[in-house]
């Protein structure tokens, strides 16, 4: 399938409580990793299928939510195309350490979606 969901990420104000809940509910294996620039990111290991992560919500006033990431070959081109099609760029193209490049858009209906380009691509 072209452009599959590549990662699902929880943004929450109570990371400890979320980790306890989801690890017990789904038996997810969680691994804390240092984030570029400081802080901790919790990887969700699900075995097979799309994995994800958990992080402290950085946006003031935004309620806890899950963010879906779609894999793309060229995040810059995909972000421009989304904007040309009527999306609002919420988080412009940014590098995520040595891992990849991302952006976040809001589609014309207001729904948010992230795009992810793993390092080693264009």
Alpha-carbon separation of residue 55 from 60, 66, 77, 78 (angstroms)? 14, 10, 27, 25
Digit-coded pLDDT (tens) for 6-44: 999 999 999 999 999 999 999 999 999 988 778 889 999
Digit-coded pLDDT (tens) for 79-112: 999 999 999 999 999 998 888 999 999 999 999 9
Structural domain count of the chain: 2
| 76 and 43 assigned to the same domain | no
pTM of structure = 0.86
> What CATH number has the domain bearing residue 43?
3.10.180.10
Domain range enclosing 89: 72-122
| 78 and 112 assigned to the same domain | yes
Which pLDDT score, from 0 to 100, does residue 38 have? 82
| 22 and 59 assigned to the same domain | yes
């Amino acid at each position: 399938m072209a452009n599959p969901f590549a990662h699902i990420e929880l943004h929450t104000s109570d990371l400890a409580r979320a980790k306890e809940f989801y690890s017990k509910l789904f038996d997810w294996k969680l691994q804390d990793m240092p984030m570029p620039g400081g802080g901790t990111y919790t990887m969700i290991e699900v075995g097979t299928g799309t994995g994800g992560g958990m992080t402290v919500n950085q946006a003031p006033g935004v309620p806890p939510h899950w963010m879906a990431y779609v894999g793309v070959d060229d995040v810059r081109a995909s972000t421009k195309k989304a904007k040309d099609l009527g999306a609002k760029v919420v988080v412009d193209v940014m590098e995520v350490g040595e891992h990849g490049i991302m952006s976040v858009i809001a589609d014309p209906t207001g729904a948010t979606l992230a795009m992810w380009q793993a390092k080693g691509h264009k």
